[in-house]
Amino acid sequence: MDAFAFEVLEDAKSWNWPIVKRIEQSGNQGKAIVPNLLSCLIKESQALGGTVLEEFWETVGKCNDKLQDNIKNVTSVPPGQASAILFAGVNKKDINLDPLFDMAAEYLTHLAVFCAQKDSKHGPARHAQSVISYRWRRTNCALWLTRRVFVMRKQEALTRLAFERDGTRCVMTGAKFHETLTDVNDFHPNLAHIIPSSIHGKPDTMKCLAMFAGGSASDSDLKHMNGVGNVANFQSDAHWQYDELRWGIEAREEGGNVKYIYRRVPYCSDVGPVGIDLRDGDEIQFGGGTKGERLGRGPLPLLCNIRLAMARALHMSGAAEVVMQLKVDSDDSDTPHAYVASDYFLDILDAKLLLQSIHV
């Protein structure tokens, strides 16, 4: 059924999709984003054993009663005729595309946006702190400090565990990390989360994750997202590019062992990007620390593969540009005086809400 879904979605690029203001502002062909995103989500979900394909056909049936009757005939036709059979006897103007649009929006909001969120501030260009965030901290100072201390202690503990599992060099760049404040000649480790830890406590996001990854996304694996199986220490540039979904980790089971493969997104045969000293297809040498065997010899394979699949789906569909534009639009660090009633302020607020996985 996946080949028939791809055929229908290719035809769907010419449909009259709802206008998406923010996508249009970013310069993308907004009407093509939805079918492209759904097609790429189906492809990557199938590879993981997910159920996005089944959800797609169920959603198509909600768009028109006649479509629901035609779906069962789609698989009985030769390739290239699926779209014609699906829409036999249906006026496309009478099709309600909202269910399909809502499906794509849900995955974009709950998974794509979360995968592109940073768990910590880093990167080559650090912006001044957000005006909205600064005012919130001033108003809720005690609560913010308590949370901050807890997060810092947790990060320090996970950083230490990642050292013990993988060693004190970055597995991507080879840079030597400092382990104490006196190691001034070495690089500072950036603790990277494979799946952002902020996903916890968000049942709708967890539901999307389970459907995308299917039965392989067992509760036991998802519960380990707060542990060392969901983190690795990277040099800052490599971490930044990972958060930007420019590369990922493919985890393969080979002879009872896990082999971690470096993948660039989109594919490129060159070394890099930035200081990464690997090419697409090279093995990533996790597990070289003093307790590598005891701590699993690397991140959890499922989490690595989910992150890589989402990065590929985003970039192949063009949705990555939309997510990155939202991140730019939500940055109010250079806006000290944005009037509450202004369109500029509302655009910033709109982007911030979307990045917090809130439908608006």
Using 50, 70 and 90 to split pLDDT, how confident is the model at 143? low
Q: What is the pLDDT of residue 51?
A: 93
d(CA 36, CA 32): 6
Do the Cβ atoms of 114 and 198 come closer than 8 Å? yes
Which is more confident, 238 or 322? 238
Query: Which residue blocks in 229-285 are alpha helix, DSSP H?
Result: 236-243
pLDDT band for 139, please (50, 70, 90 cuts).
low
How far is the C-alpha of 162 from the C-alpha of 177, rounded, in Å? 12
When pLDDT is cut at 50, 70 and 90, the band that residue 202 belongs to is confident
Q: How many CA atoms lie within 13 A of 191 on its CB side?
A: 24
Positive or negative CA dihedral for 100, 310, 162, 235?
Answer: negative
What is the pLDDT confidence band of residue 138, given thresholds at 50, 70 and 90?
low
Beta strand 247-254 pairing with 190-193? unpaired
pLDDT given at position 328: 65
Assess whether pLDDT exceeds 50 at residue 187. yes
Confidence class of residue 9 from pLDDT cuts 50, 70 and 90? confident
- Residue labelled with tokens 């690397």: 298
Residue 244 pLDDT exceeds 60: yes
For residue 280, the model assigns a pLDDT of: 98
Q: Which amino acid is at 24?
A: E
Continuous H helices in the chain: 2-12, 21-25, 30-48, 52-63, 65-74, 82-86, 98-107, 113-115, 131-139, 141-166, 203-213, 219-223, 236-243, 301-317, 319-329, 343-355
pLDDT digits (tens, 9 = 90+) for 295-336: 999 999 999 999 999 999 988 888 887 777 766 665 555 554
CA atoms of 40 and 58, how far apart (whole Å): 17
| pLDDT in the model for residue 116 | 60
CA distances from 176 to 160, 189, 288 (A): 15, 9, 13
Do 354 and 324 touch, CB atoms closer than 8 A? no
How many whole angstroms separate alpha carbon 192 and alpha carbon 119? 8
